[in-house]
Structure 1
């Protein structure tokens, strides 16, 4: 193949056409560079020698506003995967050493063993309070175990605590909790005649969605909690609760309003009604009518079971 020539107008035109098709629309150098010219070995060495220091210095560059380690920040929002000792909190700002603490199968097995060994709700609460296998425990202020009457015929299970719940250590005490109270009152119930819990007993930082690992590691506790309460009817508040406890991948809008079954480890089948989470209803009030229909179904089921 004949090499392109800087003196051949056709070659120059083809080169410019190539640049235009590649999106080149401005010059990077003030002085034109002859790309057709051969670079002599000595010139190449000089070019690489001058370019090398610039490349080597780049990894040492740091942004001017890089934040340091703030001990007060760590005390306020400790990272679940951070393990610090006193030597890592000096007077001068310094980054902490991080150690990954991802929930693994061993922690899930331990959660199952602890849950299965609890013969009462008080024992289960104690096991959960002492359990360190879930990272969420280290960022939450309180264990949010349950609220209401453990002898009630109705049990409601949401996904995870929010800020208000984390502060008080009780489920559904914020805005969504107040709406849930009104929903229960509409079918003649309250917290003395219902039992309320969550799949995840610790608040995820920033109210983020719990990860699959976090859900799986907490699943044995909520399943044992349901088994110990042994309600006549279970209500799954929201998609995550329904998917976890009913072993389904369907969305909540498809699930809601249709009776399903939650089967405990001992084989007890509990009628379960998936419905919309109160927090979702606050954002989408037009769907409150759907939740109202679901709660009417729950009321009818409780009445039917009471007379059977």
Structure 2
């Protein structure tokens, strides 16, 4: 890497390069390619053979110590523990207590507050978000930062609100992760897998009619798919209920032209709610 990397003649700093990469991912780019083809066979012919690396021999005293008794030693064990705790919860309050006490996710150690849910748990619409950001971590509630304020405006336009007491007009907001990832990075596969037993039980106990999958992480968690710009607006099934993928409010704030498609998705959600009420 040079000291002054460029993109199409434009000097890039780290923040700009990261923003470009994030934009490409949002647009559905999933494979890097060069501007010109590379002859892989020619490349292999020019490479000199390298002697195989000999495995490092470790003395018994230098090997990693065994895990302490009682601690789960792999992801499967932590998922099993999460499933048992979630299954034993017979109310949202007991589920929140069990999830907050669960120590099988490392994010808990670096977060300020546990972020369980917000809104009316009797709402017909459940919004599944990604993970807490900085402001959410401070307040212990999902979607309360700038993106959350825009989310309120979006759903308010079709008569839905997290503060509504009437279930017909209410929203209930949950995240895939209840602890903030450091630096607001995307959740990794291990964190999602360990969190999903609690998310599934959360949906079961709340019992919404419809689910909005707000962004890539909820789609990955609930559908096993990413590429929100391809998925948005297409009704599907998640947790045994109709689900609508939508672009995240943070993306809409960065890309105002995409608000037109988000409005179409909101109208589709309103129509679906009305049809279920008939």
Conserved? CA contact 2:113–2:138, under 8 Å: yes
Residues 262-281 of structure 1 correspond to what in structure 2 (within 5 A)?
262-263=238-239, 269-281=240-252
1:111 aligns with 2:82: yes
Structure 2 unmatched runs, 5+: 1-70, 165-169
Conserved? CA contact 1:180–1:278, under 8 Å: yes
Conserved? CA contact 1:101–1:135, under 8 Å: no
Q: How much does 1:245 deviate?
A: 0.9
Distance (Å, rounded) in 2 between the aligned partners of 1:289 and 1:281:
10
Residues 76-91 of structure 1 correspond to what in structure 2 (within 5 A)?
none
Residues 2-13 of structure 1 correspond to what in structure 2 (within 5 A)?
none
1:194 aligns with 2:171: yes
Corresponding residue for 2:117?
146
Structure 1 unmatched runs, 5+: 1-99, 264-268
Q: How much does 1:101 deviate?
A: 8.9
- Structure number with greater Rg is 1
Residues 225-236 of structure 1 correspond to what in structure 2 (within 5 A)?
225-236=202-213
Which secondary structure does the structure 2 equivalent of 1:216 belong to? helix
Corresponding residue for 2:66?
none
Residues 156-195 of structure 1 correspond to what in structure 2 (within 5 A)?
156-191=127-162, 192=164, 193-195=170-172
Question: Pick from 174, 193, 201: which aligns with 1:216?
Answer: 193
1:130 aligns with 2:101: yes
1:303 aligns with 2:274: yes
1:247-295, Cα deviation, whole Å (9 max, x unpaired): 3x241111100000013xxxxx210000000111111111011111111
Where relative contact order (Cα < 8 A, 6+ residues apart) is larger, the structure is 2
> How has the CA–CA distance of structure 1 residues 230 and 102 changed in structure 2, closer, same or farther, with 3 Å as cutoff?
same
Worse-superposed segment, 281-290 or 154-163: 281-290
Moved over 6 A (4+): none
Conserved? CA contact 2:72–2:78, under 8 Å: no
Distance (Å, rounded) in 1 between the aligned partners of 2:79 and 2:142:
23
Distance (Å, rounded) in 2 between the aligned partners of 1:281 and 1:102:
41
Distance (Å, rounded) in 1 between the aligned partners of 2:274 and 2:130:
27
TM-score, normalization: structure 2? 0.71
Give the alignment's Cα RMSD to 1 decimal.
Answer: 1.5
Conserved? CA contact 1:235–1:274, under 8 Å: yes
Conserved? CA contact 1:262–1:270, under 8 Å: yes
Conserved? CA contact 2:131–2:181, under 8 Å: yes
Which secondary structure does the structure 2 equivalent of 1:271 belong to? strand
Aligned length: 202
TM-score, normalization: structure 1? 0.64
Question: Pick from 202, 210, 223: which aligns with 1:246?
Answer: 223
Distance (Å, rounded) in 1 between the aligned partners of 2:73 and 2:117:
26
Which secondary structure does the structure 1 equivalent of 2:159 belong to? coil
